[in-house]
Each structure stands twice: as structure tokens, then as C-alpha cells.
Structure 1
Amino acid sequence: MAPSARRAVLLLRGLAGRHGGCGAALGQRCVSAEAAQAPPPRPRAPRTSLTSPVEHTAEQRGLWYTLQPGVVQRLFSQGGVPKQFLTQCQTFAETCLMVRQPSLTLMDFIRRSDLSLPPNKFLLYGRNGCGKTLSLTGSSSTSPGPRSGGGTSRRWLPSATIEGQYDHPLDAVLWLQHFKTQNAELLKTLQLVTQERYIWSRREVTEPDTPLGELVELGIGRARYSTDCVLALTSELKRHATEGRCKVAVVVDGINTFYSPVSRYRCEDRTLLDPKYFTLFQSFMQLFKSDWKNGIVVGSIDSLANEGWRRDSHLPRYLLRQQGWEALDPFIPIPIEDYDDLEMRSAIDYYLDRHWLQNPQAGSDIGRRELAALSAHNPYLLMQVCRPL
């Protein structure tokens, strides 16, 4: 158990009777006082019936809204949210998010975006544990069209079609499966088709006017071509968006990882390989450019996405480096802070409502102050501190 969590147990356990060290003569008096003092009633979580972030205004700030199981299954069944959050949602038997000011700001910016111009780039930043990923989760549930998300790569092979490039077939298959789960119905409704001819081998060719869904299925079924299918898919989506056939939202958690000068992979001479030689890297990087329209780019800048030796600051200029700063310019930074007093009270009420906080004294004024002090108002630390209580 973490020291802060252990201290929380000791402090809250002592709240029922601050005078537990009374002498024998005063023991009966202390027992009588404790018996007369009933624990505070367990509060209910402040909720809103508006389940779409598009409908939220400043009046809903600090309230909790529920994501429907179908939305959660479609958007996040194969990742996109922290594993600890998923585990917590399974424990609570519901998926709820708090309406916070950064999310309201982001949705307001998206509503006012002129989609006839190159895509606006909205980048969330803040200290670790303040809620960047979950803010992206809320925006993903209301994206205006097909969603494309970047990710990290693990296994690589020399490209089967482009000399000097390297593919990540297994990662590409997983990404295509994720894309299919999120956008299958949209692709059918929009009836998007390929506009170019793609030659995979002497016998395998994707002709023009082939539904994009078939291109996705090809990549999933033939891992050898999966990375090239991702490149073709992102190129086709950019073209369709520019020509007004669809709107595209690019949502990336830890976008600064794309601007690391080196990768974790080594060439035969043991030198670290430049990420520009990865086909999957090129596929996602083209979505960050300003050479298309009818879309938006929403990303988070996370110190954990950087190398271990470059995490001293959470500010965008430091984490993006000069290359990322210039490549994403212009972008709109949206800071995410720790909980304020309203959000802190709402979070504790929610944990009490879900019986995540078992000690009834946690809802008292002094219990709330101690939880706020132990967690420093940080959402992640609050979750960790409350786990043993």
C-alpha cells in the first residue's frame, strides 16, 4: 500500500472519535458522545441526464454523465482509455465521466471551427494524472465523422512494397480492427470508395470504386499488407474529406511521441532507426498536416509519451521539441488542471455513491479536506488514495 493511501486509512479511521485516547474515568463519556453522533448521510453523485458532450454547458460543470454501453463497446472495446479506468468502470457497473471546463472549452472550439479551412489542431496538456486521456474520451464519443487514432508500434519487418521502409503488420492489424469497430456503420452510411488502384501483388489488386470497408477487411485478413492498407486508408479519408464527402476527426493520445528523433529499434549496425522509415508512422503523420480540410485534429501532449530522460516539464514546447512545435503550428493549446473545489467535492460524492469509499466519515468536511490534501486535488492520485478506503 502506498504511504499516502496508508496515511489516509489511519486518518479516516480516527475520524469516528478524535478523543479515543480518553482515560478510564472519561471512557463512558466518550462512548456516549460517539453513540449520539450519527455518521453523515451518504451523498448521491451529482448527475446530469444530458449524455452527449455536445449538449453540455457551464451549468453542467462538475456533474457526471453516463456513456451508454453501446457507445463504450463501439469506441473503446479495443483500447483508447486507461486500463485502470476500465477496471473501475466494471466495478461501478457503469461508465461515467465528469463534465469539466477543458472539455467544455474543447467542444466550444470544435463547434466554432470552420471546416472549409485546413483542420484546426486542439492539443490538451497538463501534469500527469490530471485527466488528459479521459478528456479525449469525451470528445471521441461525439466526433463528427470517421475517427482515426495513432498508437505506438512494437513489431517490425522490412516493407513488402516500399524499399527502405519498415512495416508493423501486427500493430496495423490491431489498428484496422479498432478503426472497423468504431466506424463500420459510418463507412456503410457514407458509402466511401477508393479512388486509386492499389497493387498488392501480381494477383491481388484493389480497383478504384472499391468500398473502404473492403480495404479495411483486406488489411485485417492479410497482415502482410496491413501497414500499406493503413497508409491507403488514411490517404483516401483525407481525399474524401477534402472533397466534402465526409468529416474526419483525428484523435491521438500522446501526440508528442511522433516527434521523437529516434525510435526504440536498431539497424544492423546497432544505430537507432529514424521513425521516418516506418510506413505506419508516415500514415499517421500525414493526418497532422494542413493540406486537407473538413476535419479536426484533437490530441494530448503527455510527458509519459516521451523518453524517460525527457519528462521534466509538462509544457507543450518542451515535450513537442522544435520539430513537433513547428509541424503542428498553428495549434490551440488547452490546459487541463487538477480538480478545483467543485470538482473535488463532486468526485468524492461519486466515490461515496458507488461505495468505492466505504468509510462514511470520508463524506464529512474534515474527511474531504484530508482526501484533498493527500491527493493534492489530482484526479489520479485521488483514485489511488481512495482505493483502500
Structure 2
Amino acid sequence: MLRTTSVTLSRKLTRLYKQCLYSTSSSLTSTYDKLEKFRTSETDCSKHSNEHLAQFYEVAQEDKKRVFTYGGLPKTFETQIKTFHETCIMIRQPAIDVINCLKTLDYSKPAVRFVLYGKKGCGKSLSLAHILHFASKENFLIVHVPWVSNWMRRCKEYSNSEKREGYVDLNLDGAAWLVHFKSQNSHLLSTPEAKTSKEYVWSKREVTPKDSPISDIIDHGINRVKYASEAVVALCAEIKELTNRSVFKTLVAIDGFNAFFYPKTRVYTEKKEVVHPHNVTLTEGFLNLSKTDWKNAAIIVTVDEIAIAAEDHISHLPRYLLGKEGFEHLDPFVPISVSEYNEKEFLSCMEYYRDRKWVQGYPGQDEELRFISTSNPYGLMKMCASL
């Protein structure tokens, strides 16, 4: 009897041990499957395709420093980067669509314009960041404005233009943008053919001669802040000329482009009159670059409700946000919709947060958060943020 009991107990323990082994093996397999689903080891943007959709890829620290040191990533996302100690961007359909187009465009034809649009917090800026990273790796000359509304509604200072009657200069903002441009394109600015097409007279004693390196214009605008706005306009004109001559292949990327056409700015004249964006000197250069009268270039802009005053939110569609004048300026363009997370993207994001120990999982968590956040990427980020 005792022997029978001992044999039975031994069999039960053996069965239990095997079950534990199987359970552990299944758990590990499940973990690896999840890791493979929400993260990819492919960091080369040119190789990203539909196979990588809804997966996170890591931006190398040196790439982040070169492309995004002075802007391009939302502040809340920057906070998340510091917390997670890594810069990971989700690969989404809008970015893949634009990247595929940039690979196949005929750059001998007039520049093509893409407009990213969508509801607040759906990821337009991060999709643009993914595209910028691709452009940087592919040696595009990048002309990037991180957020136009910072100039029109939160400018550092403003002063009447000395060269253009009725215009206002944002010289501190202009100098900051020149630093940003220099940081993103330092490896291309030393190109021997990158020289000015004409002479620029800044004052009686300050002149940039014809055939000077275009970096001289940049450095002059940074060192002599008084002329920063004019230096930006001159640089934009020279970029267009050099790109037409095939010295560069250029990508123009402007976030919050509709702010260039929204009349209610917080820029004022000496008489405290509101200045229309078209009378801000910086605007001239970037409206010039967003035309299609040049080649070897592509233009990508976002339109956003947040770029204008809150009380004037009507719709997230380009026609409403750009207004008649802005829409006609960009027409024709390729519209790219950036929508809320689909099911795969939402689950991938939650797995990433759990992997980073940012949220603690519990039964029904995904369903609850998806319902409350309506699958809005920014909304989900805020809900999972610390108190």
C-alpha cells in the first residue's frame, strides 16, 4: 500500500514537473513572439516596409543628435525618451507611404508636395520625424521648420524690418533656425559647388561676395543676429538655385504649415497692430520653397488645428485649416491622412509600455484604455504618463 502511494505520488510530481517545463517554455515563446511583434531590429529607414508596420524601431543616438537636437520631436515625446532611455518611433502607414514615394519620385520633374493631416494627437509630427530620419540617412539637404506657430504666436522678439517697408523681423527665431539647419546639414554644407549665386549686401561694411560658400550666409545670420531674418530668406533662395542645378537633393519639411496663412498672430508693429504672417520676413523664404517651380526636391508639410487659435477649430481637413489662400498655394498636393491607432498599433504600443515597465498589466487593461483614449496616440500617452 505504501509502495503504491509512493509510486502514485512520484508520477504526479513527474507530471507536474513536465507541466511546469511546458508552461515555462510556452511563456518564453509567447514573450519572444510579443517582442518580435512590437519591436524591430531594422534601424535602416530605407528598408522599412509594410512588413514593419506597427513596430517600434530605435533611432541611433548620433542620428537623434544630428537631426533632432534643435527640434522636430514633440516635447511630451522628448520627456518619454528621457524616461525610457531610448528614442523609439512606431513605423506607421503614412510615413511608409511617403518614404516609398520619395524612393520612386522622378526628381527631374517639378517638386511634389505632400500634406499630412489628421485630428489632434494622431501622430503627424512623429510621422514627419520618421520621414526626416529617412531623408537624413539618404543624404537629402533638409530644410525643416519644427513648428511654424512658435514664430507666429510665441516668437522670442520682433522688430520692424530695416530693408522691407511694412515687414517685421523675427531675428532671434531666425538665428535659432539657422543653427538648426546647420546642425542637420553640416555634412553637406562643405560641398565645393555650394556657393552663392550673387552678392549680398547687409550693410555698408558687411557684404557676402558672389561665389562665397553658402555657409557664410548661415554664419553671418547667426553671428549678426540683426540680419538673421534676411539671411534666412537669402539662404532659401540659394538652396532653391543650388537644388535646381543638382548640387543638392532637397527635402522641405514644415510642421504646422497652416500657421503661415492664419491672420491672428501675436506679432505686432510699433503701433501695436497685428501683423499678418505674410508680412513676417521669415515667411517669404519658406513660401518660396513650398512652390513647385523647381526640381530635385520634395515638399512635406503638416496642417494642424493646434497651429492656430483654439477658438477657431472647425475641422482637421486641409481645406479648412489652410483657408482659400493657403489651399490654392499648395494645390495640387498629395493628401496623406494620419489617423488614430488601428488595433495592431494600439496593442503594439501597449506592449512597448509594458516592456518599458511604464504600465503594469491587468486583465482588461487594453480594452479599457482603448475605449477611454479612443485609440488616439497622444491621448494614450497622457493616460499612461506618471501623475
Query: 1:44: how far off?
Result: 3.5
- Who is 2:383 aligned against? 385
1:142 maps to which of 134, 142, 153: 134
2:370 maps to which of 359, 369, 372: 372
Name the amino acid aligned to 1:243. R
C-alpha separation in 1, matches of 2:54 and 2:225: 45
1:243 maps to which of 207, 222, 245: 245
Q: Does 1:282 align with 2:284?
A: yes
- Who is 2:228 aligned against? 226
Q: Does 1:71 align with 2:71?
A: no
**Is there any run of 5+ residues in structure 2 with no aligned partner, and where?**
1-23
C-alpha separation in 2, matches of 1:164 and 1:256: 22
- Who is 1:316 aligned against? 318
Q: Residue 176 of structure 1 aligns to a residue in which SS?
A: helix
Equivalences, count? 347
Q: Does 1:167 align with 2:189?
A: no
For 1:152-207, what per-residue CA distance to the aligned partner results, in whole angstroms no more than 9, with x for missing partners? 32121112333332211100110000001111111114641111100111111100
- Who is 1:26 aligned against? none
Identical counterparts, % of pairs: 37
Indicate conservation of the 8 Å contact 2:59/2:88, yes or no. yes
C-alpha separation in 2, matches of 1:92 and 1:113: 37
2:339 maps to which of 337, 343, 349: 337
2:35 maps to which of 44, 50, 57: 44
Indicate conservation of the 8 Å contact 2:260/2:278, yes or no. no
Indicate conservation of the 8 Å contact 1:44/1:352, yes or no. no
Q: Residue 186 of structure 1 aligns to a residue in which SS?
A: coil
- Per mean C-alpha deviation after superposition, the further-off stretch among 175-184 and 282-291 is 282-291
Query: 1:380: how far off?
Result: 0.8
Indicate conservation of the 8 Å contact 2:168/2:269, yes or no. no
- Who is 2:116 aligned against? 124
Alignment of 1:154-233 (within 5 A): 154=155, 155-189=157-191, 191-233=193-235
- Who is 2:79 aligned against? 87
C-alpha separation in 1, matches of 2:352 and 2:311: 37
Query: 1:265: how far off?
Result: 2.7
The two structures, once aligned, show a CA RMSD in angstroms of 1.8
- Who is 2:52 aligned against? 60
Q: Residue 343 of structure 1 aligns to a residue in which SS?
A: helix
C-alpha separation in 1, matches of 2:184 and 2:268: 34
- Per mean C-alpha deviation after superposition, the further-off stretch among 182-191 and 63-72 is 182-191
**Is there any run of 5+ residues in structure 1 with no aligned partner, and where?**
1-37
